[in-house]
Structure 1
Amino acid sequence: MSSQALYQPPEIPESDPVAIKAAAMDTRVTPMMAQYVEIKAANPDCLLFYRMGDFYELFFDDAEIASRALGIVLTKRGKHQGHDIPMCGVPIDRADDYLQRLIGLGHRVAVCEQMEDPAEAKKRGAKSVVRRDVVRLVTPGTITEERLLDPGRPNFFLAVARRRVSETEWRYGLAAVDISTGHFALSETDGPGLPAEIARFEPREILLPDSIQDDAELAAFWRETRASITPLSRDGLDPASAERRLKDYFGVATLDSFGSFDRAAISAAGSALFYIEKTQIGSRPVLNPPTRGQSGSALAIDAATRANLELTRTLSGERAGSLLAAIDCTVTPGGARLLAERLAGPLTGADAIRDRHDAVSFLVENNVLREGVRRILKRSPDLARALSRLGLGRGGPRDLACVRDGLFAARDLGALLAQTELPREFADAAEVLGALPTAIADRLAAALADELPLLRRDGGFVRPSYDPNLDELRELQQDSRRFIAALQSRYATETGCRTLRVKHNHMIGYYVEVPQNVGEDLLKEPWKATFVHRQTMAGAMRFSTVELGELESKIASASDRALRIELGLFDTMAGELVGLSAEIASGAEAMAVVDVTAGLAELAVQLDWVRPIIDDGLAFDIKGGRHPVVEAALKRDGQSFIANDSNLSGIDGGHILLITGPNMGGKSTYLRQNALIVVLAQMGAFVPAKQAHIGIVDRLFSRVGAADDLARGRSTFMVEMVETAAILNQATARSLVILDEIGRGTATFDGLSIAWAAIEHLHEANRCRALFATHFHELTALADRLERIENATLKVTEWNNEVVFLHEVVPGAADRSYGLQVARLAGLPPAVVERARTILTELERTDRESPKQALLDDLPLFAVPVRPPSTAVERDALREALGDIDPDQMTPREALEALYRLKSEA
């Protein structure tokens, strides 16, 4: 049921006047409900939180959706067209909790507040409705409330735009905005790089123009993404209007001071600002000027690789057990967010990476300074998010205190760093910290009380003696309370009623309450002239007096005037901070940089990690490499990790290490640890190894593990092939490729042939550094035929008829996989294991009598096409011959013969 259709009158016979009258009465709506429908019609794609007193109420479809999502009671309010109007509500003071749950489920919420006091509405007439309006739209990418955000994770929304560069190619611009911190980053990429670039930001929400959302080639990607998709119309996205919006927002005449931006990036930035204006409705978040990441400046890691390597969360979606959780030694929320950003987007510039390593080395070698830095940082709250809430008008007294404490910590940190010569990254941070306007922190310390309320409307957050006028009003309030106590005592003495009490409620104000038998006496002379009867309750009576009325007026006036003074002081202080937002935001960023660096230094010292050598060559030489997450887990259990070397270095192309060995031997761990070492090295961290020399990796690909995609009709093997295709089509000579068990999801000969061809393609076409684990032992013969392929295996031994996995990688090839031993360890029935052993013995005997290895040894090698594609239309005999072949109807022998036949015709 849509809001537009809620009040369509029912169809009734024109000849039935009784029905006409009944229908007319039934379709009449209260002024309040008419207001609701009007506001809901303007926000049809949101759940409407409609403020009514101390509750946000929802009606009709919104109520039914919210009651199911939140598990709250669905009630009703009146009728429409003969049907009950569904209703549910949430209390104002718990609204954040409910918002968090709704946003987590992908809903958008329009928050509709009362824009005036109900008393003002009554002045317009008894039936007048309190003015209400939507003050903000709450979406996954635009939340700012502290309780709704993960303190250690950025909360980006991403706007996407594009421009055509050729008949078949597009250039994409992305604008990533976190309004909770003011972070505003622009980037550009081509079509193939779009998924990896989006995965780097891990946005909560993506804004898409219709043209991009409707693109058939991208439809599957938008369906798969975890982010909430918000469609945008085509209007207002052209670069000219987007550039004007950027200039107006930041108050500049030109964008040159921000850098050089692609037209698609400018369009995306304009879309992001348009969306902020739409959702914040009059509030203006404090945004940093947009920064531009150079194309290719970050290590490209697609979503599948991120998931396989469990960089920021495990495959089950948990942070615990991920690489981020294992390396996070930061002590501030800003530092935790920056660490997550650096892990998500490692650098590809050797100089910038070395600058980060210099800073980490500096603190590794200076234990006293590192401890002092971390001690100061632990005092710093979330400066960036507190400043953002103040800028949006949603801040409270505790946000002022956050900024105060953050500025004090920044001042102390700057003073500490100024005492010594610093590496470049630290020197830049120290310069920013030294220039911070910390005098305002002293004023905040003088103004704010020790105990602060959550909301500014509660008052009481200004320190006594800060403002003389405020002190005077507070003293008046306190005197009034003493006078009430004295008045109660006098009334009790005069009436002889020791249980007489002076109380207060919002309905009748201050009143005298006595037991009913005493109240009957107060209705008579001589008391009736003093005590005016107001209410009779069960067992009690309430009265008012002239003195109480005068006192109530005085107290109310003093309280209102005191609160107005406090709110005025709050606005002054918040406005001053917002005016200094650029400097304070820079200070928050500098503190985050120091925190990340100090945390990585602490990690290196605690875990004995080393500084890697980074250059622009094709080296990949790891000595004693370890898996950081697995090592941490083993250490908790009192076990040690078996370190292993890896050398994929090459001059004219990367080497491929072909790894065979037993199940459970540690192949997957070995593959992943080398990929994680690259990520750590290029994000600026030390690495878990004895030595590491890594030539810059431009793209990282990982195909490890098996999973199906039933929702899209994809088998495990299909998912494997899709991911493998992406690798073979995109990997360059500078890439690192991690492949595990390619081809195992289909028939033996099919899988073996695919794995064989994939290795040859990596060697001859991609020419990249790669680790390729397999159980197809026949592939080890490739090491004798391809110069950059080497064999390695995981050592295993048998002792007392038990298999022992040594987890040590050594040169050579495995002769078996010990699958039966692993099956027995897993608990398969002994009869099944024994029967499998009998079958395996027979299969091995058959293979020895008619081996397939000789056939594979005679296969010609993969040939890289060198001729450019011809534009002329000519007869292609080879293609015609291929067109006559139906591989699905051929046996492996027939396929091999066809391949030789085609070879002879080529």
Structure 2
Amino acid sequence: MSDQPTPMMAQFLAIREANPGALLFYRMGDFYEMFFEDAVAASAALDIALTKRGTHLGEPIPMCGVPVHAAESYLLTLIRKGFRVAIAEQMEDPAEAKKRGSKSVVARDVVRLVTPGTLTEESLLEARRHNFLAAFAAVRDDCALAWVDISTGEFRVMPCPEARLAPELARHAPRELLAIEGSRLDDVALEAGAALTELPALSFDSAAATRRLSALFQVETLEGFGTFSRAELAAMGAIADYLELTQKGRMPLLRAPVREAALGAMQIDAATRRNLELTQALSGGREGSLLAAIDRSVTAGGARLLERRISAPSRELPVIHARQAAVAHLVADPRLTADLREALSRAPDMDRALSRIALERGGPRDLAAIRAGLTQGGAIAAMLGDDSVQVLADAACDLTGHDELIDLLDDALVAEPPLLARDGGFVASGYDDDLDETRRLRDEGRGVIAGMQADYIAQTGVTSLKIKHNNVLGYFIETTSTHAERMLAMPDRFIHRQTTANQIRFTTVELSELETRILNARDRALEIEREVFARLSRAVLDRAPQIGQAARALAEIDLTAAFADLAAGAGWVQPMVDDSRAFLIEGGRHPVVERALKRKGEAFVANDCALTEAATPAIWLLTGPNMAGKSTFLRQNALIAILAQAGGFVPATRAHIGLVSQLFSRVGAADDLARGRSTFMVEMVETAAILNQADDHALVILDEIGRGTATWDGLSIAWAVMEHLHAKNRCRALFATHYHEMTSLSARLPGVENATVSVREWEGEVIFLHEVKKGAADRSYGVQVARLAGLPPAVVERAREILHQLESGEREGAGKPAAILDDLPLFRAAPPAPAPKAKASAVEDRLQGVNPDTITAREALDLVYELRGLLNRPA
């Protein structure tokens, strides 16, 4: 047996070697096949059968495969499980390979490398979320981050010191991160949920990047896009290089790169995003997050824009005020808002349709999506008119001027085109005369022949003339010998083909041409439709910048209308946002908790928060029992600041917020076992990040600092943290604690005020009022909460006993807590009480006096009625 692989296996191995690190989907007819290690890995990941095909080096070759028509669903599974997939297609007709010899292999090559950050197919993407590919570059001490969504064309870059990389990745949540080989960014990528792809240093060369980007955008210089640092060029160039590699030369349609200012948005670190559940709940998934609670958008583009605004609230007052003015304009006109939202709901995702067309992965439905989007855009622009506020007026302007393209697509496309161009049937009748004639031949061949036969009868006067068909001659004209003389007399018109015993057969040039056209009509119709599709695609791509602007305008209007609908429906108000240090919230509410309570028919208790504007710093020290709502109060004020600077209204009756430069949150408890961090260590790391970074315009919310260690250690740490916030950071802060000793700080530190969450006690029970008021709490009610949680009664009672001893000893000066605990009698579990003997029932008492051996039938019947009466007697 030879150890040499077959020509086909040799081709597979060569292609696989050229695409390391990826599973190879090897096209064989109607299937993508995988072999060797790829087959083993794919069969396990996809839960499909693993078979064998031939041998290699004396061992059977593992094989598995997936149907081409269902490949996208399998690709989605593989991508979500962290695989990269190389798609190798047949580059020629198998019949051509056969002509070269029986051992010739069909030419194949990789046409695309599918990775998490380079998806474009509708079925592989989440419609309401971006799919970012990011690249981080460092050139000496200069670092930058670039990110792109090839499904929408969004392309941005910003300076990004390595210390800011984790927060920025948390903001964008890229699916894939590109970095130079040996970068050691595995932990950062893992925390951001991104697949890390390392590229050679040449991919990050800034000089080569300039050439790549200039070629990509077909410009002589990048100066028209702005001034970029070497690190920014390197990051963008790495993206361009990677896209060329994965898309195999079919570059996506990217917008001109935009340089973001590093301080243009509120700075929010990864821990704060996680703790506040901005776009994803702690339990995983979108439900339960702020985004899910406030998303009223009706378009995919609007939903993506909302996520960007929530992830990066603006710090530019003119931008914030302009967005709020647009929302206020629609809040004041609910009829217009309703009409806009109804029209927007019929607008498809033009951004992603345009991207698929540019990558030659689009179909007729993508052209129809462009048509529908531009058509709806024109109607929406008409609704807004010319006297709208600036944001809406600018958007309306971008939605006009597309009539020529709309008319072209309207004339060319049917109302409901198929998904794939190869299926045909998407070009409207009357658009292309040649196509209409070809379709008529394809669909009405017999009628066309009948019409030609009638014409020949009229020309010759031979009523018995027939046009027939057989497999030898094809179509021919037949008549009897008697009438054939008239046709033989017109040799230039009728060409003799065959004479039989009783008939003579002719043909004509027109009939021969018609026969060829009928036989080729189906293929010709599809060919013409493909040509039409190509022309329409070019027409769309010629106006790609204007279509992109229209798509962004629809998203802006959708988000504005969504904010207005939310504000009107939930009773939210327009906040005053300025460059002061004010933080005044009246009747503030937590949007996520309020939504959950409303579903259960319960009301949310609103609360005020006033961090004194004149005080620098301005800190509230919040005390109160567990379960009373301290964490909710802390979080709701942070979320109100985010919503205000995102340009929306806020859940309050009044709000005045000075620009928040940074938002920090340290709440909840979590560990990081993968990196050897305990719950307390994670708490300290997050607290350190706050104390080292927060400036005087930051907003900090801290919950239970120091609770993960011994009591006196924890109190010492919490006390020191409070003093540092007051003396060094000088920021606005809400600090919740169970260390009641800290309330004395309000008398020592001029910027600190005490606040507490109210409760009431009733017959040993604790009632949570969820009201925040000035003052300090002296108890935490932990034992009562433990009872509510379902601890065994014996444990709760023992806890009460110990607490009483500790509190009494503290009041009476009995010594340290350890000494008091040493004097406690040992806990002894009481033996289980015997079950009380059940009292005999009236039925049992009556049966005791009955002797079954002596009772008569009549007496037995009477006894049954008597016993039934006893059962029905009230207890």
TM superposition score category, shorter chain reference: 0.7 to 0.9
Shifted more, 134-143 versus 641-650: the winner is: 641-650
On the 8 A contact 2:176/2:197 being kept in 1, the answer is yes
How many Å apart are 1:382 and its aligned residue? 0.6
SS at match of 2:612: coil
Corresponding position of 1:154: 130
Corresponding position of 1:67: 43
Corresponding position of 2:698: 735
How many Å apart are 1:551 and its aligned residue? 12
How many Å apart are 1:852 and its aligned residue? 10
Corresponding position of 2:237: 270
Corresponding position of 1:537: none
d(CA) in 1 for partners of 2:670, 2:788: 23
Are 1:234 and 2:201 an aligned pair?
A: yes
d(CA) in 2 for partners of 1:670, 1:822: 19
- Structure with higher Rg: it is 2
How many Å apart are 1:350 and its aligned residue? 1.4
d(CA) in 2 for partners of 1:129, 1:172: 48
Corresponding position of 1:805: 768
The equivalent position to 1:193 in structure 2, one of 164, 168, 187, is 164
On the 8 A contact 2:169/2:192 being kept in 1, the answer is no
d(CA) in 2 for partners of 1:188, 1:330: 31
d(CA) in 2 for partners of 1:391, 1:441: 18
How many Å apart are 1:285 and its aligned residue? 1.0
Corresponding position of 2:499: none
**TM-score normalized with structure 1 length:** 0.81
How many Å apart are 1:560 and its aligned residue? 1.2
How many Å apart are 1:553 and its aligned residue? 7.8
Corresponding position of 1:441: 406
d(CA) in 1 for partners of 2:229, 2:658: 29
What one-letter code is carried by the residue in structure 2 that aligns with 1:367? P
Corresponding position of 1:46: 22
d(CA) in 1 for partners of 2:320, 2:289: 23
How many Å apart are 1:429 and its aligned residue? 1.2
Corresponding position of 1:373: 340
The equivalent position to 2:177 in structure 1, one of 206, 218, 229, is 206
What residue ranges of structure 2 are gaps of 5+ in the alignment?
A: 450-473, 475-512, 817-875
SS at match of 1:135: strand
What residue ranges of structure 1 are gaps of 5+ in the alignment?
A: 1-21, 166-170, 485-509, 511-549, 854-906
Corresponding position of 1:164: 140
On the 8 A contact 1:172/1:194 being kept in 2, the answer is no
SS at match of 1:174: strand
Corresponding position of 1:181: 152
Report Cα offsets for 1:693-720 as digits up to 9, x if no partner: 1111111111111011122221111111
The equivalent position to 2:428 in structure 1, one of 453, 463, 468, is 463
Are 1:411 and 2:382 an aligned pair?
A: no
Are 1:583 and 2:546 an aligned pair?
A: yes
On the 8 A contact 1:299/1:347 being kept in 2, the answer is yes
Query: What is the correspondence of 1:316-465 to structure 2 with a 5 Å cutoff?
Result: 316-419=283-386, 421-434=387-400, 436-465=401-430
% same residue: 57
SS at match of 1:192: helix
Are 1:817 and 2:790 an aligned pair?
A: no
Shifted more, 839-848 versus 282-291: the winner is: 839-848
Distance change (3 Å), C-alpha of 1:191 and 1:451: closer
On the 8 A contact 2:4/2:57 being kept in 1, the answer is no
d(CA) in 2 for partners of 1:556, 1:674: 74
On the 8 A contact 1:189/1:295 being kept in 2, the answer is yes
On the 8 A contact 2:623/2:740 being kept in 1, the answer is yes
How many Å apart are 1:304 and its aligned residue? 1.0
Question: What is the number of equivalent residue pairs in this alignment?
Answer: 760
Shifted more, 406-415 versus 662-671: the winner is: 406-415
Are 1:845 and 2:808 an aligned pair?
A: yes
How many Å apart are 1:480 and its aligned residue? 4.8
Shifted more, 368-377 versus 79-88: the winner is: 368-377
The equivalent position to 2:90 in structure 1, one of 79, 104, 114, is 114
Query: What is the correspondence of 1:470-869 to structure 2 with a 5 Å cutoff?
Result: 470-480=435-445, 557-651=520-614, 653-850=616-813
Distance change (3 Å), C-alpha of 1:477 and 1:422: same
**TM-score normalized with structure 2 length:** 0.84
d(CA) in 1 for partners of 2:515, 2:99: 22
d(CA) in 2 for partners of 1:475, 1:753: 89
SS at match of 2:264: coil
d(CA) in 2 for partners of 1:793, 1:761: 22
Corresponding position of 2:278: 311
SS at match of 2:617: coil
d(CA) in 2 for partners of 1:209, 1:173: 13
d(CA) in 1 for partners of 2:383, 2:517: 53
d(CA) in 2 for partners of 1:552, 1:635: 72
Report Cα offsets for 1:19-54 as digits up to 9, x if no partner: xxx4xx1x1222111111110000111011111111
Report Cα offsets for 1:267-293 as digits up to 9, x if no partner: 111111111111111212111101111
d(CA) in 2 for partners of 1:78, 1:236: 40
Distance change (3 Å), C-alpha of 1:776 and 1:258: same
What one-letter code is carried by the residue in structure 2 that aligns with 1:283? R
d(CA) in 2 for partners of 1:336, 1:74: 41
How many Å apart are 1:163 and its aligned residue? 2.9
How many Å apart are 1:576 and its aligned residue? 0.9
d(CA) in 2 for partners of 1:852, 1:226: 52
d(CA) in 2 for partners of 1:769, 1:314: 26
What one-letter code is carried by the residue in structure 2 that aligns with 1:424? Q
SS at match of 1:235: helix
What one-letter code is carried by the residue in structure 1 that aligns with 2:697? R
d(CA) in 1 for partners of 2:713, 2:123: 53
On the 8 A contact 1:480/1:551 being kept in 2, the answer is no
d(CA) in 2 for partners of 1:597, 1:97: 35
On the 8 A contact 2:809/2:815 being kept in 1, the answer is no
How many Å apart are 1:438 and its aligned residue? 2.8
How many Å apart are 1:223 and its aligned residue? 4.0
